[in-house]
Amino acid sequence: MQDNQLEMKTISYLLDEQFFIPAYQRGYRWTKRQVTDLLNDLKEFQQKAKKKEFYCLQPIVVKKNQDKWEVVDGQQRLTTIYIILNYLQELFPKVIKSCYQLSYETRADSEAFLKNINNDLAKNNIDYFHISNAKVAIEEWFDDEDPMLPFKLTQTLLNSDDIEPKVKFIWYELSEHENATEVFTRLNMGKIPLVNAELVKALFLKSSNFKRNENKDDKNKSIIVDLEQVKISQEWDSIEKSLQDDAFWYFLSKENKKDNRIEFVLDLRAAQLDCVEKIIESDKLRTFLQFSSWLENDDINVSDEWLEIKRVFMVLEEWFNDRSLYHLIGYLIHQGHDIKDIFKTRDNSHSKSDFRTRLLNKITQSVFFDSQNLSQDFEALESIIETLLSSLSYESNKQHNQIRGVLLLFNIVSLLNSDKSNARFQFERYKLDKWDIEHISSVASDMPKNQDTQKRWLEQIVDYISDGDVVDQEKHLSVKQTTEAQLIKEQATSLNRSSFKYSQFEELYQRVTQFYNPSSDDEVDNSIGNLTLLDSGTNRSYKNAIFPIKRKCIIELDKQATYVPLCTKNVFLKYYSKNVDEMLFWKDKDSSDYQQAMIDTFTDFFCSKELNHG
């Protein structure tokens, strides 16, 4: 045997086999809940199974050991099915004439107990206890069900490949050169399960896949097989390595997935397959099962199918490398659009330009208006955008996702508006640093409530006013304003050194906000003109901070080359404000100018004929 073997086997196929549980495995430990969950799943499948559909039991990993199969992984499932069959065999001895055998390398008594479960002996050892509890759970479950269910379920469990519905095991047979103990450790102690990616890889690397391409008289046929396997294996690893680049991965996905990212590509290809056998939608190993069913077709060549998977990956690479598609698709993904739907849009497009236009349509429909046509005239589109932005308020929790989407889109559009720039929005930092909406100018309700956060807030005020750069920036302030800033610093220093009362802090907080945010007594500005994207670290540290402190923080991040979204940086540098003589304050006019900048940017972008049709 040259490599590991992977295939689907019905329970009926295994009835004459002998299995043994090696010493490195613990005993049977399934709980009543796990047993009844399996029975409920089998019952639901039996009742709802559609034509050519099967139920898949999780993988069992085995290795041939003389005349028996050493169970490396899957003991719990194999034993539970055995106990269920044991129960059903008592009811229908003429239907279930035999069952596979289970023996134990170090617990010989457990084999006899399993064949004849005696509840009176359940307390003799821990294995007996769990096996007995499983049998009781099975008996109680069937007692509460339709009297006909045991017979129907027996048929479903024992149906062979040519009879429906049926139940199958994923049979993963280790080759002779594999060390069973090491594999067990990897799967169990290392907590690395046999996921879709590993199973599909094993499916593609079976040497039997390539024999149809060989000349039986060719003395070098084994070399040909090895080269085919090595080629697929190397290309597999190359794709996985590319997807390990977070910039690539988080452009495509919002999922915090560390390993086996190639599953993303496999899922996309699996969705395109027209399999004869139907797999339950909720099955966690659905992708593997789709490939397994697909490759059983004699007309399918494994090398050709691998080429189709590579083509899917190359499409993703093309999107990533195209600056326009990168931003449009990345935005849609992070707004919850399904990548499979985007693939369908691509397939239905006449050209790359048409594809881009369809993506723009998706964005405008989901953000601004429900229309199949981008050809809105400038004034009409401007009015639609202005109405939408004016209606958004942070006060409404239901609008938070929409606000976040608008702010993200503002960054995307601002980058795409610059043809000469190669700057790209960093979706990986947007995801990993948890950028979210936050007020530009703090609101009164954000005042720190506990003493620890109050002390940190006071430290921020003292550090800010003591900063030399700030002193230079405030040269234009009047003598009265400069004096007030120094008095605030002295009061904050004094208060932070003493055991102060809440009322004392509240008084100083009001004094600070009144000085740096003169309009803070007015109604809280929850409009989008006072909202931007801030990362979670800045939010935690500066949520209650006044505008100039937040501004100082953003400038420091930018100096350190820490990623700050373009529009967030522009807001705190007041690039959108028409009057920039007061850099330390965020006023109503700044908010209004910022909101108008969004309206102008969106309108210009979505009315651009060159982008939509070029």
Clarify whether residues 499 and 438 are in a common domain: yes
Clarify whether residues 228 and 190 are in a common domain: no
Report the alpha-carbon distance of residue 320 to residue 339 in Å, rounded. 13
DSSP 503-568: HHHHHHHHHHHHHH-TTTTSS---BGGGEEEE-HHHHHHHTT--HHHHHHHHHHHHHTT----HHH
Long-range contact pairs involving 351-357 (C-beta distance under 8 Å, separation at least 24):
352/322, 352/325, 353/613, 353/614, 355/325, 356/324, 356/325, 356/328, 356/611, 356/612, 357/612, 357/613
Clarify whether residues 84 and 231 are in a common domain: no
In this structure, is residue 241 part of a structural domain? yes
In this structure, is residue 334 part of a structural domain? no
Answer whether 128's CB lies under 8 Å from 135's CB.
no
In this structure, is residue 356 part of a structural domain? no
Clarify whether residues 242 and 190 are in a common domain: no
In this structure, is residue 211 part of a structural domain? no
In this structure, is residue 545 part of a structural domain? yes
Per-residue confidence (pLDDT) for residue 215, from 0 to 100: 52
Report the alpha-carbon distance of residue 100 to residue 122 in Å, rounded. 23
Domain of 110? 5-194
Last residue of a domain, one of 290, 321, 352: 321
Answer whether 546's CB lies under 8 Å from 513's CB.
yes
Last residue of a domain, one of 279, 306, 321: 321
Do strands 531-534 and 68-73 pair parallel, antiparallel, or not at all (unpaired)?
Answer: unpaired
Last residue of a domain, one of 321, 350, 374: 321
Instruction: Please identify every stretch of the chain with a pLDDT value under 70, giving residue numbers as ranges.
Output: 1-2, 189-193, 207-226, 276-277, 369-376, 443-446, 468-477, 517-523, 540-544, 581, 609-614
**Which tokens is 497 given?**
């050194």
Residue 366 phi/psi, 5-degree rounding, is -80, -25
Do strands 531-534 and 53-65 pair parallel, antiparallel, or not at all (unpaired)?
Answer: unpaired
**How many structural domains are present in the chain?**
3
In this structure, is residue 337 part of a structural domain? no
Answer whether 526's CB lies under 8 Å from 423's CB.
no
Per-residue confidence (pLDDT) for residue 237, from 0 to 100: 93
Report the alpha-carbon distance of residue 68 to residue 188 in Å, rounded. 22
In this structure, is residue 368 part of a structural domain? no
**Which tokens is 219 given?**
């003395």
Clarify whether residues 124 and 247 are in a common domain: no
In 183-301, at which residue ranges do the beta strands (DSSP E only) sit?
278-279
Clarify whether residues 522 and 600 are in a common domain: yes
Clarify whether residues 492 and 597 are in a common domain: yes
Residue 369 phi/psi, 5-degree rounding, is -160, 160
Clarify whether residues 190 and 226 are in a common domain: no
Report the alpha-carbon distance of residue 183 to residue 63 in Å, rounded. 11
Per-residue confidence (pLDDT) for residue 211, from 0 to 100: 58
Clarify whether residues 289 and 148 are in a common domain: no
Report the alpha-carbon distance of residue 585 to residue 36 in Å, rounded. 64
| Closest among 78, 37, 140 to 45, alpha carbons compared | 37
Clarify whether residues 12 and 126 are in a common domain: yes
Report the alpha-carbon distance of residue 340 to residue 171 in Å, rounded. 30
**Which tokens is 394 given?**
């942070």
Report the alpha-carbon distance of residue 134 to residue 137 in Å, rounded. 5
In this structure, is residue 144 part of a structural domain? yes
Clarify whether residues 38 and 153 are in a common domain: yes
Report the alpha-carbon distance of residue 222 to residue 240 in Å, rounded. 27
Per-residue confidence (pLDDT) for residue 610, from 0 to 100: 43
Clarify whether residues 188 and 229 are in a common domain: no
